[in-house]
């Protein structure tokens, strides 16, 4: 079946929804304002497939910028189902990845960025050391230098153009700290995470030929989760799309802007959507949540948006659980009583369709301890996870483990998928067909001899690191931090580590997640959906926190709304008996008043 047949057939599912179809038919700059469960990812992927097939002639292509690697992975999977594999014509990745791979690595030298020819991306260890040296030079004293990390990042992202007087005048000490920190990085020949979009934007601003080169390669730019991507990306869009002729297709939702601490600003999307030269489409149906949850979600947000469930949708249910005993009491209650009650009511429900969401990782510690005590396996996506869930390398190794533990027999995942994702991971090394063939042979050889779920994970990881990763890592300048994450995990599994080694099948289960309860921070849950959501610790002083400013309260409400709308069938709100969050109280009062 041809690619065109696949996306045209998929597009027919959009036709009954007038606004999805309007976005699919758009011909110029388009902003798709898409609330939770509105089908925005399907609309985006089918639209990408159409534009690549009908609007862009080879060898030119499309770049799609996403918020994080999880979003990129989801888009890649959906495009693959439409017959569109990742290739040199299709870039899908974060704004940092776009900045690094499409601008800095190929053009840094000729763009006048004063970076060494062989610069690499700093590891976490290197950035911490650079901040310690800069702090000692500029600030001094016995304070922990890492306490300045958030302020440092905000200051760097605030001043995208450092030629303005405010760069020196607004906070001279913080500016000195930034300059000392960056000088330490450059002395080591490295750039860090925040450097990537800042330096890429500088290169684009100062080099008209570079803007033309990007436009020649990618005449269309798609941006997903626009509200989360910050001022550097917005400035790139303004220059590339409204000055250099690249066509824009942007997707986002101002109500789901929850990353203010990284510089995200929902007003940027709002202003973009109000431009006269942009066609703006707002999706109004929520296909995910039950009708009662859709109604209550606007109470959670505190704003009327007119969202509706489609005709014939299930109802959905909201439950309120005042608890005693603090967070540990909530954890014991939800594991000992609530989850068994849910399982009894819905015996066919996989544990992987249950998510427990919370504001702080120490709440997750209480839940994880209670779950272990009662024999439940969990998968954590918070600051105390076994390893960062956003790590591309660790997620690829999970796929490898799934293939070794039965995927080779069932085709889930297909070995071709495992190889293609690995090739994208090592794209700096795998540049030719011969390189790809060599990598393919190495992957199959390494995995074929280890098709056994009872193997110890430590030894399996050590072997794959030696056979697949070490021969390539020296030339992969963007993966140093990823390998540091892997090495740290291997060390924790070792004889002197803090985690008992476990079988490969358990690691593969982390990738599939079917029999594990999801424990996630509210921020990490964004973009995901579950049959049942339990929002733990939804109380005043935590959501919102005590002393929060007006803007912080608004963002806390949006965070509550994001958590609320992850649920398809059931949302359970748990809180200390005497101190429910003002957001919980408002939802309950408005539901009781209906």
User: Distance (Å, rounded) from C-alpha 534 to C-alpha 354?
Assistant: 8
41 assigned ligand-binding residue: yes
- The crossing angle, in degrees rounded to 10, of helices 291-301 and 550-564 is 170
What backbone phi and psi angles, to 5 degrees, belong to 70?
A: -65, -45
What contacts 544, CB < 8 A, 6 or more positions away? 552, 553, 556, 557, 581, 582
336 assigned ligand-binding residue: no
456 assigned ligand-binding residue: no
User: Distance (Å, rounded) from C-alpha 447 to C-alpha 375?
Assistant: 31
Q: What is the DSSP string of 57-90?
A: -TT--EEEEESSHHHHHHHHHHHHHTT---BTTE
37 assigned ligand-binding residue: yes
Give, as one character, the DSSP assignment of residue 356: E
Are 530 and 353 in contact, with CB atoms under 8 Å apart?
A: yes
59 preceded by a cis bond (ω within 30 of 0): yes
544 preceded by a cis bond (ω within 30 of 0): yes
35 assigned ligand-binding residue: yes
User: Across the beta sheet with 567-576, what order do the strands follow?
Assistant: 317-323, 567-576, 530-535, 354-358, 517-521, 378-381
Burial of 88 (0-12, 13-18, 19+ CB in 10 A): exposed
547 assigned ligand-binding residue: no
User: Distance (Å, rounded) from C-alpha 105 to C-alpha 128?
Assistant: 24
Are 92 and 427 in contact, with CB atoms under 8 Å apart?
A: no
CA 121 remoteness from chain centre: 19
What distances in angstroms separate CA 574 from CA 46, 496, 534, one per listed residue?
A: 39, 39, 7
What backbone phi and psi angles, to 5 degrees, belong to 355?
A: -125, 135
Give the position of tokens 């986002």: 252
Tokens encoding 248: 């824009």
What contacts 323, CB < 8 A, 6 or more positions away? 329, 330, 333, 574, 575, 576, 577
User: Distance (Å, rounded) from C-alpha 156 to C-alpha 232?
Assistant: 11
Binding residues: 34-41
Binding residues for ATP: 34-41
């Amino acid at each position: 079946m041809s690619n065109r047949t696949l996306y045209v057939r998929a597009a027919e599912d959009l036709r009954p929804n007038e606004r999805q179809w309007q976005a699919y038919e758009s011909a110029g700059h388009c902003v798709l304002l898409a609330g939770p469960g509105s089908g925005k990812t399907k609309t985006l992927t089918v639209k990408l497939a159409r534009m690549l097939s009908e609007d862009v002639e080879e060898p030119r292509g499309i770049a799609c910028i996403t918020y994080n690697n999880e979003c990129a992975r989801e888009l890649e999977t959906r495009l693959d189902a439409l017959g569109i594999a990742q290739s040199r014509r299709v870039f899908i990745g974060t704004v940092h990845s776009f900045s690094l791979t499409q601008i800095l690595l190929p053009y840094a030298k000729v763009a006048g960025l004063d970076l060494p020819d062989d610069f690499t991306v700093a590891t976490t260890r290197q950035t911490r050391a650079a901040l310690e040296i800069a702090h000692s030079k500029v600030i001094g004293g016995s304070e922990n230098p890492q306490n300045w990390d958030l302020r440092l990042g905000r200051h760097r992202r605030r001043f995208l153009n450092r030629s303005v007087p405010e760069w020196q005048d607004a906070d001279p000490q913080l500016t000195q700290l930034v300059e000392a920190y960056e000088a330490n990085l450059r002395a080591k020949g490295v750039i860090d995470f925040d450097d990537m979009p800042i330096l890429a934007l500088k290169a684009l601003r100062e080099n008209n030929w570079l803007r033309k080169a990007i436009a020649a390669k990618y005449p269309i730019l798609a941006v997903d989760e626009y509200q989360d991507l910050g001022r550097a990306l917005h400035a790139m869009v303004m220059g590339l799309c409204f000055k250099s002729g690249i066509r824009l297709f942007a997707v986002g939702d101002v109500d789901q802007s929850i990353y203010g601490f990284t510089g995200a600003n929902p007003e940027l999307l709002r202003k973009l959507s109000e431009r006269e030269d942009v066609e703006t489409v707002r999706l109004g149906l929520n296909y995910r949540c039950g009708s009662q949850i859709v109604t209550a979600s606007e109470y959670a947000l505190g704003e009327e948006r007119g969202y509706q469930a489609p005709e014939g949708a299930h109802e959905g249910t909201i439950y309120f659980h005042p608890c005693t005993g603090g967070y540990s009491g909530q954890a014991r209650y939800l594991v000992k009583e609530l989850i068994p009650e849910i399982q009894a009511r819905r015996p066919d429900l996989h544990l992987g369709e249950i998510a427990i969401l919370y504001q702080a990782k120490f709440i997750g510690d209480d839940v994880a301890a209670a779950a272990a005590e009662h024999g439940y396996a969990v998968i954590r996506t918070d600051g105390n996870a076994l390893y960062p869930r956003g790590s591309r390398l660790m997620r690829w190794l999970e796929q490898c483990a799934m293939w070794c533990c039965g995927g080779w027999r069932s085709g889930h995942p297909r070995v071709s998928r495992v190889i293609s994702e690995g090739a994208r991971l090592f794209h700096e090394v795998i540049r030719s067909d011969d390189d790809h063939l060599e990598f393919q042979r190495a992957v199959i050889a390494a995995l074929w001899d280890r098709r056994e779920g009872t193997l110890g994970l430590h030894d399996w990881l050590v072997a794959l690191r030696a056979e697949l990763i070490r021969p390539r890592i020296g030339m992969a300048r963007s993966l140093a931090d990823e390998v540091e994450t892997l090495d740290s995990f291997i060390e924790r599994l070792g004889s002197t580590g803090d985690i008992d080694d476990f079988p490969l099948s358990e690691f593969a289960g982390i990738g599939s997640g079917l029999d594990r309860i999801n424990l996630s921070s509210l921020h990490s849950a964004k973009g995901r959906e579950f049959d049942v959501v339990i929002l733990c610790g939804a109380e005043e002083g935590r959501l919102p926190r005590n002393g929060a400013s007006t803007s912080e309260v608004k963002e806390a409400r949006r965070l509550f709304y994001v958590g609320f709308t992850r649920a398809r069938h059931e949302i359970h709100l748990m809180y200390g008996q005497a101190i429910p969050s003002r957001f919980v109280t408002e939802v309950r009062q408005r539901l009781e008043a209906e």
